Structure 1
Amino acid sequence: MLLFKLECMRLFSGKINKLVLILFVISGVFAIYQGAQGYKNIRIDQYKSKIVFQKEREHVTQRESLPEAGSLAYYASAPTKWQLSPWAALFVGESQSSMVATKIRATALQSQIFNRETVNPSQQRTGGLDLGFVLVYLLPLVIGIMTVTLISDEQHAGRWRLLNALPKSAFSQVCKQIALRFAVIWLLVLSLLVSAALLLSLPFDAAFWVVLLATSVYMLFWFSAAGLIMSFGKSSVVNSLAYLSSWVLFAMLIPGAVHLYLSSQFHSEAPLKMSLEQRMVLNNGWDQDQNKQAILDEFLQHEPHWQETAPLGDAFEWKWYYAQQHMSDLAVHDLWLSFVENHQARYQQLQNLSLLSPALFFQLQLNQLANTSSRDHAEYQQQIVDYHKEIRHFFYDYLFFDKSISKDDIDNFILFAPSDKTQRKSDTLTIWHFAMGTFVIFVIMMFAVTRLKQLSPT
């Protein structure tokens, strides 16, 4: 117990160690606060979209005479919702720079998804600090500063030979020092997670323990890297530079190289092409008055449920307008499928290549847990596609069968129902990747332990 107290005093007596731990805690607290504010703003945007739509619907139903169905379909912007996990307040992922409450009408779909700004530049924060950033990038630096010079400091102070002369070997003492530092940092991480869970009302469910387990394994990697560097018996300067170089390699260079590679291999201009081609199809449709019936007939081949509609007359009719809108979607359907397949292939390749960098892999897993990954955003877009189809079919009955719309019909307008993925289980491939990464970390740790045992006292 006395030796443990002495080690604790040595650990917290150094100004650098105390400063690093204080800055780490402050960064974590600030990241939790900023992430909570960002998540709050997201929820407010989603709530506002829902309330505005309800008010618009109430305004329409209070009118003495209702607008025709085509006009309602044009102006009815139904809100959608990217269903994020509450953990999105800590791991923002793609939610910071993507639309989370897209409004959808019965008009052409692709222009609504891509032909808009994803964020408001005037409200975009400079940079982004969340708890994920603190854990992925700052935590390894804290570990390195407090650990990587343990042996070299003992050698410089002339205590290394004395430690080797004690009944308990120097290796045993170094292991205790490393274990103490691991425990202190782990407790700080646990405190941050518990505080975040209490402040944000996050449940202490499986997700909480998965985050804690993943963080613990991530810490083991960097402690193993520090131990391996120390085992070569170099000076403090060399050890510090070696550890910093490994941090730059695994946290910056490899993830940057992976994203550059994926950008070159899966570069897609499909969104731009879809927006332009769809706009051209729509514009050309207005110049082809003599082909309006042909466009409607082609539309009915794809939508045979409304085959019994009356032929078009000379005057403007809404059913031709929405038929033309849908045909513009079909004109870019192959580009949309190519975009989806390209995105899926890119994400799968990213998952595989993330094994090259513990930092990248750890960050991806945190984003997946919070439903803020690029895969979750792609699933949200697919939900928008499905909901757009429901909206179209809702209005088609009134447009193609000349049915009058009533106030009850407006009240029964179908609303967007997001899929709840907060309890989504990890897929088999992710579990396999995690197990493989843990095994590699265990091998590195065992190799570092073996080298530390063989370290000469000279």
Structure 2
Amino acid sequence: MYRLLIKHFFRSKTVWLAFGILMFLSVLSIGTGKQFLNQKQAAIAKTAIQQEKHIETQTKLHEDDIGLLLYYLKFSFVNPLDPLAGISMGQSDLNTHIQNVKILNLEGQKYDTDLVNPMRLQVGNLDISFLIIFLFPLVIIALSFNVLSEEMEKGTWKMITTQGISSFKFLLKKLSIRIGFIYIILSVLFLLAKIILSIPFTVSFIYIILISYLYILFWFAVCFFVILLRKSSNTNAIVLLASWLVLVVFLPVLVNNYVANKYPVDEAFTMTIKQRDEYHKRWDTDKHETMEKFYNHYPQFRKYELTETGFSWLWYYAMQQMGDDESKAERNAMYDKIQKREALSASISQFFPPLQVQLSMNSIAKTSLSNHLDFLNETTKFHEDIRLQLYPKIFENQPASSVDWQTYKPVIFKSQSNFNILKSSFSLLLLTVLLISLGIYGNIRYFK
């Protein structure tokens, strides 16, 4: 019986069409991920070379004035790209992985990013996570919507029940063939991704595989529940497609709008204006007032006194510091709201598997907004360290040769992942079990 069901399954043109579409899109999604990784990794690899050349050029041009030299010098802070980003790009196509910062006002430099085609951003990327979350469910629906209704419409279901064959086992066999078929394609997809994207076999990679398998099982549970309503094939198809539309398209958009409206980030604009305004108005403000605020921030620099005549780098860099200090409240408020957005999205996503899987994959691949916020916070610390190292050189008017510039290499950001596989997959597993249980309970009288 099982062998006959497998033969019948593979005789269907729908099966081979689904196979062809999935394999074509799998190769396309892996190619997209590979191209993305190559672009980012090439930029990161060039960073060390470019910084060395940049420092060498600028120190030759401004060797007699270290204050002017440090006005131009940039120092690189790098967020290395995990190969898993090729599976789930998240927001890493929007956010830069390299911060080239001067010791000037930082807030105006943090949010510089690469120029990206806006049409491409609007369409989005066909990465592997998109394929799994959006397109695999459609194939599952196409293969499963008429598993039971087709037998009933053709009149073969009664023949099965009268022959003493367990109708429940028969239905499970048909579904298991489809589950095995999709799982094999998904396994091939991950195998190709591992080889082509050079993904190491880590715990994080296993987490993505497990979440993907569980997500596929959830959609088979949805199909199982719907087909056991014992409606016609057309009704099943409409209900399942409507479920896909609601879960995968409509609800994520609704959640995104709700979260954005609940925590509007007005401080982003306010912070930008304030940090610029606080810096520029210092040109017309009493210098001693600026210096007093600077000394309050850095008591250790109070020993450097402001000269009454002429231009002073001490005053200029103190003025730059004021732009960051005066906009700090807006920056902290903005980051706080973004973190609240992320927390609220994570809470709501527990009830919507597609959204939950997307957020989980982004978190595992370190392409989430939270990861970028951590990077920006560490950029602030990196910038502060550079300032504390070089401020005394400027204020003492030391020659540029007094600094060992060879020690200033790009610094690598080390991100910490707090992803919890049990917490992230529990609700998805619970929904899957609930759908299967409801389907069986509602039809227990029909099965022998």
What RMSD in Å do the two structures reach over aligned CA positions? 2.0
Equivalent of residue 108 in structure 1, options 93, 105, 110? 105
Deviation of the 1:229 alpha carbon = 0.5
d(CA) in 2 for partners of 1:352, 1:123:
31
Q: Is the 8 A contact 1:300 1:306 kept in 2?
A: yes
The partner residue of 1:363 within 358, 369, 372 is 358
Secondary structure in 1 aligned to 2:92?
helix
Conservation of the 8 A alpha-carbon contact between 1:27 and 1:134: yes
- CA-to-aligned-CA distance 1:43-87 (integer Å, 9 cap, x gap): 1122233321111123345x3971422112111112222233210
Partners of 2:16 and 2:61 in 1: how far apart? 71
Say if 2:84 is the partner of 1:87: yes
Code of the residue aligned with 2:35 in structure 1: it is Q
Q: Counterparts in 2 of 1:146-165, with a 5 A limit?
A: 146-165=143-162
Residue 198 to residue 53, structure 1, CA distance change in 2 (3 Å): same
Partner of 1:373: 368
Contact 1:104-1:112 within 8 A present in 2 as well: yes
Q: d(CA) in 1 for partners of 2:75 and 2:61?
A: 23
Q: Report if aligned partners of 1:227, 1:452 keep a CA contact under 8 Å in 2.
A: no
User: Which letter does structure 1 place at the counterpart of 2:11?
Assistant: S
Q: Deviations over 1:369-401 (max 9, x none)?
A: 100011111111111111111121122011223
Partner of 2:52: 54
Question: 4+ residue stretches of structure 1 with deviation over 6 A?
Answer: none
Provide structure 2 residue ranges, at least 5 long, that are not aligned to the other structure.
Answer: none
Question: What SS does structure 2 have at the residue aligned with 1:329?
Answer: helix
Separation (CA, whole Å) in 1 of partners of 2:306 and 2:219: 72
Distance 1:215 1:122, change over 3 A: closer
- Post-superposition Cα deviations, 1:406-425, rounded to whole Å, max 9, x if no partner, equal 2652222364231144xx35
Deviation for aligned residue 1:433: 4.1
Pairing of 1:317-396 with structure 2 (within 5 A): 317-396=312-391
Matched, 1:168 2:165: yes
SS at match of 1:55: helix
Task: Give yes or no for contact 2:34–2:196 (8 Å, CA) kept in 1.
Answer: no
Tell me the CA shift for residue 452 of structure 1.
4.3
* Superposed displacement of residue 448, structure 1: 1.7
Cα shift at 1:119: 3.5
Q: Which runs of 5+ in 1 are unaligned?
A: none
Residues 452/96 of structure 1: CA separation in 2 closer, same or farther (3 Å cut) = farther
Which of 431, 437, 446 is equivalent to 1:440? 431
In 2: Cα distance, 1:414 partner to 1:37 partner = 27
Is 1:121 matched with 2:114? no
Is contact 2:79-2:412 (8 Å) kept? Answer: no
Q: Deviations over 1:412-449 (max 9, x none)?
A: 2364231144xx3524xx63342233123212112223
Q: Is the 8 A contact 1:227 1:449 kept in 2?
A: no
Q: Is the CA contact (8 Å cut-off) linking 2:48 and 2:409 kept in structure 1?
A: no
Matched residues in 2 for 1:455 and 1:33: separation? 48
Query: 1:208 deviation in Å?
Result: 2.3
Aligned-partner Cα distance in 2 for 1:454–1:370: 46
Offset, 1:21: 1.8
Moved more, 76-85 or 347-356: 76-85
Between the aligned partners of 1:415 and 1:42, the Cα distance in structure 2 is: 15
Amino acid at match of 1:293: H
Q: Give, as a single letter, the amino acid of the residue that structure 1 aligns with 2:426.
A: A
C-alpha offsets along residues 352-384 of structure 1, whole Å, 9 cap, x if unaligned? 000121000011111111000111111111111
What is the aligned partner in structure 2 of residue 403 from structure 1? 398
Q: Which amino acid aligns with 1:84?
A: L
* Shift in alpha-carbon separation, 1:208–1:417, aligned structure 2, 3 A: closer
Name the aligned partner's letter for residue 78 of structure 2. Answer: K
1:332/1:65 CA distance change after superposition, 3 Å: closer
Residue 294 of structure 1 pairs with residue 292 of structure 2: no
| Farther off after superposition, 324-333 or 72-81 | 72-81
Query: What residue in structure 2 maps to residue 12 of structure 1?
Result: 10
- CA–CA distance in structure 2, aligned partners of residues 386 and 213 of structure 1: 36
State the 1:320 CA deviation: 0.9
Change (3 A) 1:303 1:407: closer
Deviates more, 1:134-143 or 1:6-15: 6-15
Q: Could you tell me how far apart the structure 1 residues matched to 2:425 and 2:14 are? A: 34
Deviations 1:255-276 (A, max 9, x none): 1111010010111121211111
Instruction: Judge which range, 122-131 or 329-338, deviates more.
Output: 122-131
Q: What TM-score, normalized by structure 1, do the two folds share? A: 0.93
Q: Percent identity?
A: 23
SS of the aligned residue for 1:356 comes to coil
Comparing 116-125 with 252-261, which one deviates more in the overlay? 116-125
The one-letter code sitting in structure 2 at the alignment partner of 1:444 is L
The match for 1:449 is: 440
Q: In the superposition, relative to structure 1, how do residues 297 and 419 fare at CA in structure 2: closer, same or farther (>3 Å)?
A: same
Q: Identify the match of residue 412 of structure 1 among 400, 407, 412.
A: 407
Out of 352-361 and 73-82, give the one that drifted further. Answer: 73-82
- The amino acid that maps onto 2:405 is I
**Equivalences, count:** 447
State the 1:337 CA deviation: 0.8
After superposition, the C-alpha distances for 1:104-159 in whole angstroms (9 at most, x for unaligned) are 11011111123x45633379564311000000011111111101211111112211
Output the amino acid matched with 1:121: N
Contact kept, 8 Å, 2:48 with 2:410, in 1: the verdict is no
CA contact (8 A) 1:300 1:307 kept: yes
Aligned partner of 1:213 in structure 2 is 210
* Cα offset, 1:287, TM superposition: 2.1
Q: CA contact under 8 A between 1:91 and 1:372: conserved in structure 2?
A: yes
